[in-house]
Amino acid sequence: MGVFASTDDPGSTGHEQVVFCQDKQTGLRAIIGIHSTALGPALGGTRFYPYASEEAALADVLDLSRGMAYKNALAGLDHGGGKAVIWGDPDKVKSEALLRAYGRFVESLGGRYYTACDVGTYVADMDVVARETRYVTGRSVEHGGAGDSSVLTAWGVFQGMRAAAEHVWGAPTLRGRRVGVAGLGKVGKHLTGHLLDDGAEVVATDVSPRALDWARSTYPQVTLVSDAAALVAADIDVYAPCALGGALDDDTVPALRAKVVAGAANNQLAHPGIDKLLAERGILYAPDYVVNAGGVIQVADEIEGFNFDRAKLRATRIYDTTREILQLADAEGVPPAVAADRLAERRMAEVGRLRMIHLR
């Protein structure tokens, strides 16, 4: 089958388990990170990306799986945090055999980790992975799944953005506001539609010419700018990073003109000090793992038998969770990211402790 290496002592990161997977014949090189199973089996997507090195892939899976633990906790799910990365260019190495080999590694964990889609993987890929493992969600409707999770991811980001707008401007709407969307991928497209329906003006950018062509034909009223730097420097009220992580760094934040940051990208803060820098500049940051939880809510719902209305209702509650976090941050005099972490850690500790009560 291939090489399987697992460590239950992944160092100072706090992870329960990190698994290295390799199958030379298919070209599979993957890492599965399980940060916590305090609330239940770990749940998180599989990212397929051409990392510069194994060290870069490992760093990403550790960050992403930790973020999933906190995201799942605040979303009210009975799931811990996990994530996986497949190291390689999906356009060159992705194949049925590789995905099925990966599925067998997931199956070998016995349900400690449920996988789903992420950057570089799609619903059709999960259907292939599922031919080798029971522990996969985010599947196609034809195979009993919920389909594309970007639908509820975008809906949840929109709800979090509404809560942030209310906190800053007094009303839970983006009407009359100028919102900058960085990334017109699966989530950014849906988010743009919600914003326009709400009466917002949208400015956007993407590295893909195809995405820009889509915007021109679908929403000609959207203003397109050349790149993310131009978007950051634009006269916008809200900045919505919806591509890869690290969008908020030491160069971006000083140039940012928006009063609110709320977007779909994971790990938006380039380092822990960025949240304080945002606060010092009077920019309200809606923590990414709070507002972008709609997708994981959808795939978690699928595990118990998907019901779209139920899942959308749960994703709509991201508005309430974001409001609670922003109010807690004000009350305790801390950045919203710190307040969110405290709420997540409280739930993981209080609910996770119940597993110490042994059942016979």
Catalytic-role residue among 24, 71, 83, 312? 83
Contact 22, 28 (CB under 8 A): yes
Contact 319, 172 (CB under 8 A): yes
Is 83 marked active-site? yes
Q: CA 251 to CA 228: how far, in whole Å?
A: 12
Q: CA 340 to CA 353: how far, in whole Å?
A: 20
Residues taking part in catalysis:
83
